[in-house]
Structure 1
Amino acid sequence: MPTNTQNPTRGPLAGIKVVEFAGIGPGPFCGMLLADMGAEVTLLERAGGTFASQLFGGGRKAVANRGKKSLCIDLKHPEAKALVFKLIEGADVLIEGFRPGVMERLGFGPDECLARNPRLIYGRMTGWGQTGPLAPRAGHDANYAAIAGVLDTGRRHGGAPWAPPTLVGDMGGGGLMLAWGIACALIETQRSGKGQVIDAAMCEGAAVLAHGLFNLEALGEWKGQCAIDSSAPFYDVYQCADGEWISVCPLEPQFYKTFVERLNLVGDPDFSGKQYDTTTWPAMKDRLTAIFKAQPRAHWTALFDDTDDCVWPVLSMTDAPAHPHNIAREAFADVAGVLQPTPAPRLSRTPGTIQSPPPLLGEHSRERLAALGLSSEEIERLATAGVVSDPVVL
């Protein structure tokens, strides 16, 4: 497994300069995606860190900050504003994830920034969007997915609605959508020479991720008798004898046919009906539950290892990096002692890379200011005055 993915290859966003106001969740994830693809991301952090650094750990453990340069700066200090605007004037993209109105109160709203840099792509990441009755309200991933109608789709067999934490609203519906919007806006800017503001709302992004489920809802095929909502016996997870789990998904008739054959269920009364006859599903599920419970996961993994029956082990985050496929693809890497996913997707000519480990708080404060043309004496004065701070290990 690779321990260092840094290389001299320039990604597709090489030369793009990003200013990211430190936040939590989707905003940092968006910045990470851009950094992975070669962008130069300057992270504006405050002394003491943020709630994100308390929750996920700061410094080298903050995976979402990999590849970024940390400038620790007091945004409320009178002398900070000119420094931040100088960064923004030379930037292509700005990312912020505060509630609506906060950036305006800080003096860095879209109007002020675009007046100084008309080509700037101003990315705004919120849960509810910049407008609407919920815009000023607080929320978290499950809340955004709930209002989008997506959390309800996470029910298993009529149980309580739920979904994998932070994936639907924060990361997929939020950070990923904002990165997509930024990529689109960067292309448009090449034609128009003008920047624009991106209003990325996690609740709306979550709904877009679930477009296929809304498709099934329109057809009257969602919930209770749907092949992919955990109702079908051939699209579910089953516990094995050792307490581990196996995922079973032979949706297509040809895969289902060989799946039944491998389990020696051809001719079995419970499996003699048609695959999509929902009246037989409860009995089939009971049988499969008992069958998979009779042997450890390794037995089932070996049994289906050479088939297209779509039966695969449910791996933990500890086990996944050691899977032969993930090793062959170098899908995970150890960066500064933290095991983490490598950049995706893969580009053939200008692939992404982890440019550097996550920075310590303020690790690049002096470097970033020097890049703006400030003298060492001026930088020292700003540090002494508390406008900027030197590296801190959280």
Structure 2
Amino acid sequence: MAAEGLRPLAGIRVLELAGLAPAPFAGLVLADYGADVVRVDRQGTSFNVDTLTRGKRSLAVSLKSPQGISLLRTLLAPPSSTEDWRADILIDPFRPGVLERLGLDPKDLLEKNPRLIVARLTGFRREGPYAKMAGHDINYLALSGVLPMLGRKGDKPYFPANLLADFAGGGMMAVLGILAALIERTKSGKGQIVEIDMVTGTRYASIFPLTMARPSLGLPMWSEPRGENILDGGAPWYDVYECKDGQYMSLGPIENHFYAEFLDILIKNVPPSLLPSPHPTASTQLDRSTWPSLVSFFTAGFRTKTRDEWSRIFLGTDACCVPVLNRQEVDSEGRGPDEPDRQLGEEEAEDGGGLPTPTPRLSRTPARAGEAEEAFLEPGRDTVEILQAAGLGAKVEKLVKAGAVGAGESRSKL
């Protein structure tokens, strides 16, 4: 059983090959929960713009150098001593075939170290016509079948930044797979390869709308074309409305009794002249013929007050109506202006609000956001420290001189 106060992944060692958003996010989550995450940056890179590096250390390695590849194999092999730093997990962010060409075939690595877990993140599925093509979140989302479901009626499909495929379907699915493999290893003593592709991952994360939209189920939640359903902006009572000051309120009273409460509060707080005829009632919530007039009424109604005025009116009710906060208004714990214990300094607010802290929150062994000395992790900053911990301290100077590794500012420790 973990000691009180220890983070749940303390003692787990991760080698994260530097890549784009999904893999660094997976590494960040593991680091937040206590894993020792070493990011393998490319030797010769003096700067990186990845901001998902908190709590990590950097080892700069030349992937073109036989000595560099040999070093990685050593770090992925079983330790010769219980004190030597060796990886439990390898995070592979590369396209299919890259690890194999580098001489780091996961099957070979597992043969030498049966306890190793290799998490392989790809955009497209490893097999198929897209396997070796470049792509980004929008492309994986497009192939998932989910993108055509997102957006307004009469408009083109809308993609929610790169949140759905990169982070939900990619990075978070990688964390889930890694944790499942770690738990299984406690029973079998064996590691395994964890395959994550962002097309399949996006579909898994979207199982609710993909299931609700099946005609055979006959459910009203997502049975209509894009932008005409309850949860995609089709329903007037599940939407965002602009207020008098140009800010917004979010509205979502799906359940009829919540909708009744919302209507009661709204009607009491807008001029009677705005009320449509017949007056809206909770009994006609699902009557689509009333939806156009409701959109007009809600639009005009919310514009009669500022966002903060509406926020105060709806605070403490079951109307499912809360303000749309800008990121500059939210602290690191996700607390907005109306919440107690909010901690957000003026300088931090001006810089974009608080940086998100880890969640879920564990009561006995909570996660903790790692310290970040700088916004960006210097490639090779921790090379000497890591190699010394791996029992390779005597080889550091030779590896640096051969160009197999880069030591960054840490070379001063040689």
TM-score (norm 1): 0.89
> What is the distance in 2 between the residues matched to 1:48 and 1:349?
42
CA contact (8 A) 2:146 2:210 kept: no
Question: In the alignment, is residue 247 of structure 1 matched against residue 250 of structure 2?
Answer: yes
Give secondary structure in 1 for the equivalent of 2:204: helix
Question: In the alignment, is residue 323 of structure 1 matched against residue 336 of structure 2?
Answer: yes
Structure 1: tracts of 5 or more residues without a match = 1-7
Give the aligned partner of residue 301 of structure 1.
311
Give secondary structure in 1 for the equivalent of 2:210: helix
Q: How many residues align?
A: 375
Structure 2: tracts of 5 or more residues without a match = 78-85, 269-274
Matches within 5 A, 1:108-119: 108-119=104-115
**CA deviations over 1:177-222 (Å, ceiling 9, x no partner):** 0110010011111111121111101011111111110122113432
Give secondary structure in 1 for the equivalent of 2:284: coil
Give secondary structure in 2 for the equivalent of 1:200: strand
Give the aligned partner of residue 197 of structure 1.
193
> What is the distance in 1 between the residues matched to 2:196 and 2:140?
12
Distance 1:108 1:323, change over 3 A: same
Distance 1:330 1:104, change over 3 A: farther
> What is the distance in 1 between the residues matched to 2:162 and 2:401?
39
**CA deviations over 1:219-256 (Å, ceiling 9, x no partner):** 34323542211111110001111111110111111111
Equivalent of 2:66, from 68, 72, 78? Answer: 78
Give the aligned partner of residue 141 of structure 1.
137
Give the aligned partner of residue 299 of structure 2.
289
Alpha-carbon deviation of 1:81? 2.0
Question: In the alignment, is residue 159 of structure 1 matched against residue 155 of structure 2?
Answer: yes
CA contact (8 A) 1:126 1:200 kept: yes
Give the aligned partner of residue 356 of structure 1.
371
> What is the distance in 2 between the residues matched to 1:133 and 1:381?
44
Give the aligned partner of residue 187 of structure 1.
183
Give the aligned partner of residue 386 of structure 1.
403
Give secondary structure in 2 for the equivalent of 1:175: helix
Alpha-carbon deviation of 1:390? 2.2
Give the aligned partner of residue 271 of structure 1.
280
Larger Rg: 2
Give the aligned partner of residue 35 of structure 1.
31
Question: In the alignment, is residue 169 of structure 1 matched against residue 165 of structure 2?
Answer: yes
CA contact (8 A) 2:8 2:366 kept: yes
Equivalent of 1:341, from 356, 359, 362? Answer: 356
Give secondary structure in 1 for the equivalent of 2:187: helix
Distance 1:323 1:175, change over 3 A: same
Distance 1:131 1:234, change over 3 A: same
RMSD: 2.5
> What is the distance in 2 between the residues matched to 1:44 and 1:183?
21
Distance 1:330 1:20, change over 3 A: farther
**CA deviations over 1:48-105 (Å, ceiling 9, x no partner):** 549xx76xx25xxx1x111111001112112112211121122211101100000100
Q: Percent identical across equivalent pairs?
A: 40
Give secondary structure in 2 for the equivalent of 1:129: coil
Question: In the alignment, is residue 310 of structure 1 matched against residue 320 of structure 2?
Answer: yes
Alpha-carbon deviation of 1:277? 0.9
TM-score (norm 2): 0.85
Distance 1:331 1:49, change over 3 A: farther
Distance 1:327 1:263, change over 3 A: closer
Give the aligned partner of residue 121 of structure 1.
117
CA contact (8 A) 1:361 1:392 kept: no
Give the aligned partner of residue 260 of structure 1.
263
After superposing the two structures, state which structure 1 stretch, 232-241 or 264-273, moved more.
Answer: 264-273
> What is the distance in 2 between the residues matched to 1:67 and 1:325?
31
Instruction: Choose between structure 1 and 2 for higher RCO, CA contacts under 8 A separated by at least 6 residues.
Output: 1
Give the aligned partner of residue 22 of structure 1.
18
> What is the distance in 2 between the residues matched to 1:230 and 1:78?
55
